[in-house]
Each structure stands twice: as structure tokens, then as C-alpha cells.
Structure 1
């Protein structure tokens, strides 16, 4: 039986402290246009999940909340479907990480494009974490 593909409440990054660290100088970043990933290892484990993720679309580029929510929904769905690839590479690693996905594109991209870029970012992150 395959593991659940749900995006549980515990997998959502909500800690203001972790957000401050991600936006500060401590976060490490990688990007694949139109997505940018900033990640850090959390100081103290906050949940039973190895990764906690948040999704951000800037209000400066997308004035209407409908457009921002659409893009966040697309990013969340792509993450939910492909997070298993990230978990496979990090089995022996017991550390917990906070992930922040930022949409940097100037216009809304279709879901298939976002999914392909999300898959690429998760693969890069998996390689980066196994290297450390």
C-alpha cells in the first residue's frame, strides 16, 4: 500500500519564528522559474512530519486575491502529489526542514508547467539534503 498523498495540517508551516528565519539570512534557496524554494533545518521539531511547507504569491505582482489563491492552490497540489520523491531520498535523515515556495513569475502559469517546475525543485532539494 502506498503512503498517503494528503497534505496534512501538521505539514503546513505556520510558525512565525520559522518564517522570520526563512526570510532572514539563514534560509538557503534554489529556484526554477517561476518558483523559488527557500528552506532551512528547523531548530526544534514542531511536528511528526519531516517537512513543513508554506506557499507564497506576492501581492505586488498579483493584486487580486483570486489570482493569488489560484496559484497557491496549484503549487500546493503539485507539492502534495510529488512530495513522496522528497521523502524517499530523506529516509535515513531524521532532521526536520521548513520549506517556503515563492511564486516569482510575472503572469499565472498553467498547472502542468508549475507541476513540472515543482518536481524539478523537489528533486534538487532531495539531492541537496542527501549531500549534507
Structure 2
């Protein structure tokens, strides 16, 4: 009987092994942001849980094609991680726009429009 109780106790403790109290989790967006920051020249924006990078594609659209949806809350400093609302090359207050295309945002500044494309997961 002691053997059975001992075995039952050991078996009941097995699911607890390997568990930790560490509740720190790194989101996919955090990982994408950290990887994108490896390129110190990358022009990045993190907004709405996505990381966007400046596109080389030519942009031809008007204010009527887009709507304002957010602003940059902080410009990134040297070794700071890219957090929500931050941009590497744009100051706080810069307005962000989006159109009908998913995964694309725009900045319109000084008669020039810049397109940023979301960095895909994976």
C-alpha cells in the first residue's frame, strides 16, 4: 500500500516539473522589432502591434486616399528597443495615415509621401 501511495505521489508531481514562475513573455512583435533593429539604418515604426519598414516603392496617392489613424508618440534613441508608438526617424507628433491596403501605412510630410510596409511574421 505504501508503494502505491508513493507512486501516486511521484506521478502527481511530474506535471509540475519544469514549470517556472517566470511570467515574462516576448511577443512576436517584440521579436520582429528586435530583429529589425539589428540594421541600424532601418527606418522603422511600431504601431498597433506591428512593425513597419520604409518601402522603396514609389508612392502616388492623395490625402483623399488615406485617413489619419495614429501619431508617433516618441522618437527612438540610440540603443532603446522599438516599443509601441515609436519611430526611428520621425519625431513625436508625426501623423500616420492608412488607406485600403492592409499592412501599409503612410507619412505625408513637406509635399512628400512615404510608404511603410509591415514586416511579416516568420
Work out which structure has the larger RCO, using CA pairs closer than 8 Å and 6 or more positions apart in sequence. Answer: 1
Which TM-score bucket, shorter chain as reference?
Answer: under 0.3
| More helix per residue | 1
Q: TM-score, normalised by structure 2?
A: 0.26
